[in-house]
Amino acid sequence: MNTLLLGNTKEDIKTAAKFLKNGGVVAMPTETVYGLAADALNGDAVKKIFLAKRRPMDNPLIVHISEIEDIKRFNLVSDFPQKAKMLAEHFWPGPLTIIMNKSDIIPDEVSAGLSTVAIRLPSHEVARNLIKESGTVLAAPSANRSGSPSPTTAQHVLNDLSGDIEAVVDGGMCDVGLESTVITLATKTPRLLRPGLVTVEEIEAVIGKIDVDHAVLFKLKSDEKVASPGMKYKHYAPKAKVVLLNGESDKFISFVNDEYAKDSTVGVICYDEDVQSINAKAIPIGKADDLETQAHLLFYALRQVDELDSFTTVYAHCPIKTGVGMALYNRLIRAASFEVIDLE
């Protein structure tokens, strides 16, 4: 298959929507990361997403809508709890995914056999226009090959999936840079399944106390049951080995400089302030206190690790576990296969 690289004019959106109406798969920009979209109400179309990504079939997809009313219009859920409505009104359009009990209209391919469905209303104009133009709602996981860092540019998508999908709609670099926050309201107490730019603290300000799933911050035991199947897979990893360093910047800098003196294939993902003191090749991801810029650049940096050089090991700061730091930690700890060195 020849993958078409589209811009985001009205004509381009029409072309992409036509592929989707015909049961094809198209990558689209969203404010979080690029998504690989198919008609969420067509099980055969959704199957093609799993094939293109080589995604395990037991990992469910997020359904993207273009306005809150789509939930009723397409009859997506069996009930729309009050707290879900409060979250939707407060955070949509935006990087929050809400899980609710599904209706029968949701194909098994989307929910991976679960009784629930994950729904999000993205804020990216191109995504919303494409959903509207396609006349349906779109199932869309991140548009990367399963396991690799999520794509934040159209080029990233092409690097992974060129030849396997109909088209990519280019909407520039994604603003947020990390996948959406995922919360389930299908449990008695709302439970965070994946952290993102919308933080626990912000959610609790709207609906009160929530639980944070164990798998957000801790490694799963081999026999542990997961609420969100995506959490059990190796994820976000470049080819080079990633190791997190826990400690102040001065200790971080002297540790990586020592390692680099022993082995020149060592690389570093670091804060802007550190770059000039580091002897190894350093990829900066923003100032130490600017977590939103770090989120914006993290996956870009993880992909640069593979593109720039043949690094064997790449060291990165271990982020704090609160606020947006929780999302950075959740992604980096998986990229690092949970390997952290304590420098204190």
Binding site for Mg ion (CB under 5 A): 142
Please tell me what DSSP assigns to residue 236. S
Specify the residue, 122 or 230, whose C-beta has the smaller distance to ligand AMP.
230
Judged by beta carbon, residue 142 or residue 199, the one nearer Mg ion is 142
Segment interacting with ligand AMP, rule: CB under 6 A, options 108-116, 237-245, 250-258, 268-276: 108-116
What's the distance, Cα to Cα, between the start and end of the chain in Å? 53
Residue 90, phi then psi, degrees to nearest 5: -80, -40
- Which of ligand AMP, Mg ion, none binds 257 (CB below 5-8 Å, type-dependent)? none
Residue from 15, 42, 228, 294 touching ligand AMP (CB under 6 A): that is 228
Contact between 20 and 37 under an 8 Å Cβ cutoff? The reply is: yes
Would you say 282 or 335 has its CB closer to ligand AMP? 335
Cα 133 from Cα 21, distance rounded (Å): 9
Q: Which does 117 bind (CB under 5 to 8 A by kind): ligand AMP, Mg ion, none?
A: ligand AMP
Partner whose footprint covers residue 17, from Mg ion, ligand AMP, none (CB < 5 to 8 Å by kind): none
Considering the complex, what minimum distance in angstroms separates the CB of residue 162 from ligand AMP? 19
Q: Out of Mg ion, ligand AMP, none, which partner does residue 114 contact, by CB within 5 to 8 A per kind?
A: ligand AMP
For ligand AMP, the closer of residues 283 and 302 by Cβ is 302
Query: Of 285, 282, 257, nearest to 267 (Cα)?
Result: 282
The pairing of beta strand 340-342 with beta strand 241-246: parallel
| Contact pick of 182, 240, 269, 301 for ligand AMP (by CB under 6 A) | 182
State the CB neighbour count (10 A cutoff) for residue 204.
13
User: Which window, 17-25, 154-162, 226-234, 296-304, contacts ligand AMP (CB under 6 A)?
Assistant: 226-234
The pair of three-digit structure tokens given for residue 275, joined into one six-digit string: 């770059």
Question: Does 98 sit near ligand AMP (CB under 6 A)?
Answer: no
Separation CA 197–CA 323 (nearest Å): 8
**H-state helical runs in the chain:** 10-21, 43-53, 70-73, 82-91, 108-111, 125-134, 154-161, 200-207, 214-217, 249-262, 291-308, 324-335
Among 59, 103, 246, 265, binds ligand AMP (CB under 6 A): 59
What does the alpha-carbon distance between residue 220 and residue 109 come to, in Å, rounded to a whole number?
25
**In this structure, are strands 4-6 and 167-169 parallel, antiparallel, or unpaired?**
parallel
62 binds, among Mg ion, ligand AMP, none (CB under 5 to 8 A by kind): ligand AMP
Q: Of the two residues 134 and 144, which places its CB atom closer to Mg ion in the complex?
A: 144
Q: How far apart are CA 250 and CA 306, in angstroms?
A: 26
Nearer to ligand AMP, 66 or 111 (CB): 111
Does 330 engage in binding with ligand AMP (CB under 6 A)? no
Distances (CA, A) of 19 to 39, 46, 117, 136: 10, 13, 24, 12
Number of residues that bind ligand AMP (CB under 6 A): 20
Question: Where do contacts with ligand AMP occur on this chain (CB under 6 A)?
Answer: 59-62, 99, 111, 114, 116-118, 141-142, 179, 182, 193-194, 227-230
